[in-house]
Structure 1
Amino acid sequence: MNFPRLHLAPMQGLIDAPMRDLLTRIGGFDVCVTEFVRITHTVHGRSIWLKYMPELAHTNQTQAGTAVVVQLLGSHAENMALNAKKVVELGATHIDLNFGCPAPTVNQHQGGAVLLQYPDKIEEIVATVRRSLPAKIMLSAKMRLGYENKNLALACAQAIEQGGAGELTVHARTKTEGYRPPAHWEWIARIRQSVSIPVIANGDVFTLADYQQIRSVSGCKDVMLGRGAVQRPDLARQIAAYNQGEIIPSLSWLEILPWINDFFNCCCNKDAANHNYPVARLKQWLAQLKLVYPQAGQLFAQLRTLTKIADIRHILLTQLKH
């Protein structure tokens, strides 16, 4: 049976390789997308691609065997194409183009959501990248509903299709709306009806009920999870079980704690020389987790002023013993 697919979103600074590894091991995801790799005037070498997508060295899969897609962001069509070609030579089999990032620094350099003001430019980028790649390589894109308004939403989606993308993910907000609720799922339905390629729905899926509703309103079969998966790490597993006719309970805080310790260790291993990275990433995740698990807020308070890995590891191990 062909079940709906669940995608893990590319969230800059939040869903990096250790988080992809963790969430896909907890289970439920079919595909995940890397944080965007910014393309400017150079062609990145292997070390840069592996920094953003270490899974390139492991047949484009996380440890759990979940497929990983590499995402590119930029506005220079030829340089985007050259870099897409390079990462494919290194083994990538699926390229995703970012037309949705709302970050001001990205938009100021004509990347991400700012391009949603220029459908012709979007089509040029997609078409140029598509021409540079072998036919067997999948090319997809992610967009928001617009920059300041939704006037060009359908035109941008159609430009992505006409450029040759085979799949489109839509985050149901404009750039100026940021992450403020609500997400406009009805607009995903309008976009889906205006193109013939598959559309993946994204935005404000924090619970199983949200998942059911976004599919109902958008009419999309496949859904992408972002912040909801970080705040509720087993959300994808719950959804996958639901799609197979099973209802399973959420993980308890005691069941989440070993995963928190695991994540911290993974972050320590990722960059052994940078002690700030695992500390910052753990605190960032706890700040998200506390929106669902109050105990995460209590743990965050214990760790908030700590900066040494050994001190944090001691508290985590003490929590696990209790």
Structure 2
Amino acid sequence: MRVILAPMEGLVDAPIRETLTRVGGIDRCVTEFIRVTHGTLPPRIFFKYAPELERDCATRVGTPVAVQLLGSDPGQMGLHGLKAVELGATQVDINFGCPAKTVNKHKGGCVLMREPELMYAITAAVREAVPEGIPVTAKMRLGYDDRSMGVACGQALEAAGAEEIVIHARSKVDGYKPPAYWEEIAKVREAVNSHVIANGEIWTVADYWRCREVSGCDDVMIGRGLIARPDLAARIKASQRGESIPDMTWPEAVDLVREYAEALQARLEDRFITGRIKQWMNFLRVGFAEAELLWPEARKIRDVAPMLACLDQDIPEARLKTHAA
């Protein structure tokens, strides 16, 4: 009954993986995708997206990290899968789920679900290139134009040797609009022998249990829900034990944002760090009333210190109650 942190491109980078896995409850992470085209990528690109390669491909608290590749050339994908393992990857994941227009335009991500035979060729090439014992896994949606391709694409991935298949319970056209079609994941799970992991629209502990019931999947992958509530995985694990733990407070969430900002300072200029904080805070607005109340002020701030000072300010209880009402 694992909880896996989803690879959200442009947001779930190595520093945020470190921060969230320290909170607890996350069993595995997946990197942002490494784009594979026609040239051979140098090692520095792999280490940029997966600095955990320097530490047995795990975060500092020991949470395993899979290296994700995105591309449409089977030969190049195989070569880069092998290169990832040579650099230290303990799992190679393939992205067939990204809905971004730019990615799909260049024949990457979810658009490949229009061609199950190409998904098979890509996955088979990676499986053949990667040493036995290193899992090759994949992430997909239920289809591109609609939700009719889930079973066919899942069977193609299974036939090619994918040990696990994460399924985001929407098509590309659905985007991220509710609802998630967990019942369609169940259809794929029943049609393949590969282990299927459910993904999509898990924001609360109750959502987790409902997703498991409808999809029939023991394991889930969570993206936005864990960014909005960093303690969600820990609370899910407590619920699996028949226990409950107190919800994370806003000051505790701010401490995480501060830790994240400090980690980014070694990599980025202040203006880019503030942008990353705003990205995270935009999701925190879902989980914390304080974030919603501070957002109009925070979104205008450009520098890190005043941003953190903004998040640290006391909010009168009366204002929170008014917002809740």
Which of the five TM-score ranges fits, normalised by the shorter chain?
over 0.9
The corresponding residue for 1:39 is 36
In the TM superposition, what whole-angstrom CA distance separates every residue of 1:62-101 from its partner, at most 9, and x where no partner exists? 1221100010000000011111111111111100000110
TM-score when scaled to structure 2?
A: 0.94
Distance in 1 of aligned mates of 2:275 and 2:20:
18
SS at match of 1:247: coil
Deviation at 1:195, TM superposition (A): 0.2
Distance in 2 of aligned mates of 1:314 and 1:291:
21
Deviation at 1:318, TM superposition (A): 5.5
Match of 1:193 among 190, 194, 204: 190
The corresponding residue for 2:272 is 277
Q: Gaps spanning 5+ residues in structure 1: where?
A: none
Distance in 2 of aligned mates of 1:310 and 1:201:
39
In the TM superposition, what whole-angstrom CA distance separates every residue of 1:264-312 from its partner, at most 9, and x where no partner exists? 21222333xx222211011111111011212112333333222223333
Q: Give the alignment of 1:75-224 within 5 angstroms.
A: 75-224=72-221
Deviation at 1:151, TM superposition (A): 2.3
2:244 is aligned with what amino acid?
I
Deviation at 1:314, TM superposition (A): 4.2
In the TM superposition, what whole-angstrom CA distance separates every residue of 1:182-213 from its partner, at most 9, and x where no partner exists? 00000110000000011000000000000000
TM-score when scaled to structure 1?
A: 0.94
Q: Is the 8 A contact 1:95 1:140 kept in 2?
A: yes
Distance in 1 of aligned mates of 2:214 and 2:308:
44
Distance in 1 of aligned mates of 2:246 and 2:309:
30
Deviation at 1:17, TM superposition (A): 1.1
Q: Is the 8 A contact 2:251 2:312 kept in 1?
A: no
Q: Is the 8 A contact 1:75 1:125 kept in 2?
A: yes
Identity among equivalent positions (%) equals 46
The corresponding residue for 1:286 is 281
Say how many residue pairs are matched.
315
For residues 316 and 156 of structure 1, do their structure 2 counterparts lie closer, same or farther at Cα, with a shift above 3 Å needed?
Answer: same
Distance in 1 of aligned mates of 2:259 and 2:296:
20
Distance in 2 of aligned mates of 1:150 and 1:225:
20
Distance in 1 of aligned mates of 2:298 and 2:204:
28
Distance in 2 of aligned mates of 1:33 and 1:76:
21
Match of 2:293 among 274, 286, 298: 298
In the TM superposition, what whole-angstrom CA distance separates every residue of 1:102-153 from its partner, at most 9, and x where no partner exists? 0000000000000000011110111111111111111000010000112221
Distance in 2 of aligned mates of 1:319 and 1:277:
26
Q: Is the 8 A contact 1:267 1:281 kept in 2?
A: no
SS at match of 1:44: coil
Deviation at 1:9, TM superposition (A): 0.3
The corresponding residue for 2:12 is 15
Match of 2:239 among 239, 242, 246: 242
Distance in 2 of aligned mates of 1:183 and 1:137:
31
1:305 is aligned with what amino acid?
K
Q: Is the 8 A contact 1:32 1:67 kept in 2?
A: yes
Deviation at 1:257, TM superposition (A): 2.0
Moved more, 238-247 or 24-33: 238-247
Moved more, 16-25 or 153-162: 16-25
